[in-house]
Structure 1
Amino acid sequence: MLAVLMLGLVLVVWAVLARPAQRYSVTVPIAMAAAGLILTNGTHPLVDVEVTGPIVRHLIEITLALVLFTDATEISMRWLRETGRVPMRMIFIAFPLTVLLGFAAGVPLLPGAGWWVCAICAAVLAATDSTPILPMLHDQRLPSGMRHTITVVSGLDDGIAAPLVLLLLAGAVASTDLESVLLELLIALVAGLLTGFGGSRMLSLARERGWTTPEADRVGMLALAITAFAMAEVLHGNGFVAAFVAGLAARATAPHMPHAALQTVSDTATVLSAAVWFVFGSLIVPAFMDGLEWRVFAYAFLSLTLIRMLPVALSLLGSHVPWRERWALGFWGPRGLDSMVLGIIALEQLSGLDADWVADVVVVVISLSILIHGLSARYFASWWDRRSRALAGSAGPSTR
């Protein structure tokens, strides 16, 4: 209970100082990870977190399910049809290239890890999370198309990364049957479609006929996300994939769904995510004090730069996107909650040196990402604005 008390106090302090914190790009992930690092480490830690316990595991699982559902409902099919070439290129070209390049870099830099483990690390870290850079994504000084693309891609690639990681784990663990993994994914697909289409349709009819209230509508959407996850798990499917598919189906069924209907789901995911970031903070010191090899840091640096930036740039060749924006889209792919949970799923099935490699790589990459991406987001927006003004000034007055 002490951990819950400290979590609540830190969140209250952050809420009170949210505006000045935002000015310095101190987001919830940064604040909570820092709190977890400070309060759970040392000779006599104030808070003791049992990371491997069932409570933490269930917390992490339901949090990712809600995040996946929320991300999926933010994807507008109409927007994708109209201007979706850029995000689609990044998903269907850049994402697999990122996994392949991450695997290619892992083979020489993670000796002894094995090809399967290198592929798992690459897939886990290919998933991006826009949460650490939310202040930047709301900054009007940046192009709206670029901000929306980052949000959409971060919502789509984690839905693809989850089944990919499961398939790679089936190959890495001899006791895992590939047919069973495929069956899990099929069950998840059916559960997500049934829940998303059916639940969203019922809620839409209730809105049209005045059977529900705004408050009940918001609770209904939250229950829809939980139901999709739980239904798949009960039927021995994958709850994460089911939650993501349910979100896509819900948005497709109700394209004009009021944004307020998702507020409770979003707020719940934010609070639960804060708890998960607190837990992650407790892992940073043990990981860095465990004698990490320089190879892990080299791989982490490449993962946050060339391994993603180069595939994104290649995927946008021949597009209308300016080169400055292409490199920005490649760089702004923070790793966060999605990679954290997928990494934990991998750790539950791996053992020995394989598990150590995954744990070290994931912790280092996410730690560096929330610092590099999170703290620089606001300054990047200022630089972009100054650079845009300078380019506009050098172009001279319009001749029209």
Structure 2
Amino acid sequence: MINYAKILGLFLLAFLLNSVAPEILHHLDHFEGTEAAIASALWCIGLFLVFGWACSKAAEGTIFPNFTLQLLVGIVLHDALSPIAAQVMIPVVVCTALAAIILKGGGDEVERRDFLKIAFPTVMIALVGYLITFFAMFPLLMLLGLDGKTAALLAAIIGSTDPAALIPTLKNLVFKPEYKRVGDIAVAESALNDAVGAIFTGAVAAMILAGASVDSLTALAGGLFSADNMLLLGKQFAFGTVAGLIGWGAMVGYERYKSRDAEHDVGETAYDFALVLAIPLLTFLLAQAIHGNGFLAAFVAGLLANYNHGKEYFHTTLRTMEVKIESVAKPTIFMMVGPFVALGDLWETALLGLVVSLAFILVARPLAVMLSMLPTKVTLKERLFLSVVRETGVIPVVLAVITVAQFPELKLLMPLTAWVVIWTLTLLPAITPWWARKLGVVQ
């Protein structure tokens, strides 16, 4: 009870601070010249860091993942974070850069040789499963009363999985030898699926901006599978992969450089972290420059370099990177929902958000797993397990922020994305251990 009282106290503190924030920001606006912009920026950064840390501490010993609390606290701090909403390109740039780093880490998380063993089922569930999820959710969202644009973009955004709370959950499960691969498939899917989701969300957004009709499933499918759009998607995949291979080459060069240091007993230096951070960002930039997908490029580079499973002389740098991602990058992205969603917006969409989340969890996900796994040798128990392992987190939030910047008139897009993230991040990690024991896939 004490732990939950801490959460209540945290939300009360955020609410009180948000109440006085307009006066504080008004005072900061009276600073001279650039001092006002600097003050507002430091105010928002301070809120991200302090409340991100506080949410992580408050979540310990409770059923709530820290990411859920960070998202909700960000929404409570809606007025306090208002300077960000006024400069919409800032959150877009910040979220994109942080997501590229996170996706590179997602590639690291999967051991390259193990990935080759599960490559076919992973590609099937990440690509075919995504498409099934997308085309299952779109008509359901239309039936719930959403307009075509919102339904199409929301279906594309929430089609991406996320291992934010999944990886810690799976680390606490000991799978039986014959079912060990199912955990690897879940993690690998989430990393590859994020890139797929980014590509398709961009494609849907481009269709809408070009004036294409998305008012029916037939019109949407016709636009997506048109010759021009398929060529665009092909370029995104192909050139994104090429950029990822070049990024991998840069990482191989860095690895050889570090191996020479290791031979001469030169330990990791304080500035090694900068290069590990820079490579996925420059890989993303290269992909954009050649009209490929940057998220896919960052993932491919991380997967092939596979630093987390390589030489010991990388481990300290990578642990540092993981700490920075967990303590800075992910809290910042989750709290970035706050400037775009007020507490009132969340309350008004609560019922619709619950229905959308349940449709996503109970209909779209099981359908996607069962159908996409038909050509594979994945067993029924493994499919049933994967049907429950389905979170929506960092990358969907990033995609939602980018999309809202393009379509500010779609008022339901961000609140409904927030609700799907909240429900999936809260319910599914809590259910996963029980479901794994029920199926008998764990010891």
Shared fold (TM-score greater than 0.5)? yes
User: Could you give the per-residue CA deviations for residues 278-308 of structure 1, whole angstroms, max 9, x where no partner exists?
Assistant: 222552624224x439555433321122101
1:343-358 alignment runs, 5 A limit: 343-352=400-409, 355-358=410-413
Which residue identity lines up with residue 207 of structure 1 in the other structure?
K
| 1:265 equivalenced with 2:306 (yes/no) | no
Q: 1:387 to 1:333 in 2, by over 3 A?
A: closer
Which residue identity lines up with residue 413 of structure 2 in the other structure?
V
- Distance (whole Å) between structure 2 residues aligned to residue 180 and residue 325 of structure 1: 34
Deviation at 1:8?
A: 3.0
Helix, strand or coil at the partner of 1:80: helix
Helix, strand or coil at the partner of 2:84: coil
Aligned to 1:395: none
Equivalent in 387, 391, 408 of residue 334 of structure 1: 391
Which residue identity lines up with residue 343 of structure 2 in the other structure?
V
TM-score, normalization: structure 1? 0.79
Deviation at 1:130?
A: 1.2
Deviation at 1:387?
A: 6.8
Helix, strand or coil at the partner of 1:50: helix
Helix, strand or coil at the partner of 2:337: helix
| 1:71 equivalenced with 2:111 (yes/no) | no
Helix, strand or coil at the partner of 1:126: coil
Q: Contact 1:51–1:57 (CA<8 Å) still a contact in 2?
A: no
Aligned to 1:160: 196
TM-score, normalization: structure 2? 0.72
Deviation at 1:102?
A: 1.7
Equivalent in 60, 73, 87 of residue 122 of structure 2: 87
Q: 1:311 to 1:351 in 2, by over 3 A?
A: same
- Distance (whole Å) between structure 1 residues aligned to residue 422 and residue 201 of structure 2: 21
Q: 1:357 to 1:58 in 2, by over 3 A?
A: same
What root-mean-square deviation, in Å, do the aligned CA atoms of Structure 1 and Structure 2 show? 3.5
- Distance (whole Å) between structure 2 residues aligned to residue 170 and residue 110 of structure 1: 23
| 1:50 equivalenced with 2:107 (yes/no) | no
Equivalent in 343, 354, 359 of residue 285 of structure 1: 343
Deviation at 1:119?
A: 3.1
Aligned to 2:44: 3
- More displaced, 143-152 or 162-171? 143-152
Aligned to 1:299: 356
Which residue identity lines up with residue 320 of structure 2 in the other structure?
T
Q: Which runs of 5+ in 2 are unaligned?
A: 1-41, 213-227
- Distance (whole Å) between structure 2 residues aligned to residue 145 and residue 122 of structure 1: 28
1:139-158 alignment runs, 5 A limit: 139-142=172-175, 144-158=180-194
Q: 1:7 to 1:189 in 2, by over 3 A?
A: same
| 1:35 equivalenced with 2:96 (yes/no) | no
Q: 1:303 to 1:243 in 2, by over 3 A?
A: same
- Distance (whole Å) between structure 2 residues aligned to residue 165 and residue 328 of structure 1: 27
- Distance (whole Å) between structure 2 residues aligned to residue 100 and residue 308 of structure 1: 12
Deviation at 1:14?
A: 5.3
Equivalent in 208, 217, 226 of residue 259 of structure 2: 208
Q: 1:118 to 1:9 in 2, by over 3 A?
A: closer
User: Could you give the per-residue CA deviations for residues 86-125 of structure 1, whole angstroms, max 9, x where no partner exists?
Assistant: 32331243222212212232332344x22x5433322211
- Distance (whole Å) between structure 2 residues aligned to residue 35 and residue 26 of structure 1: 13
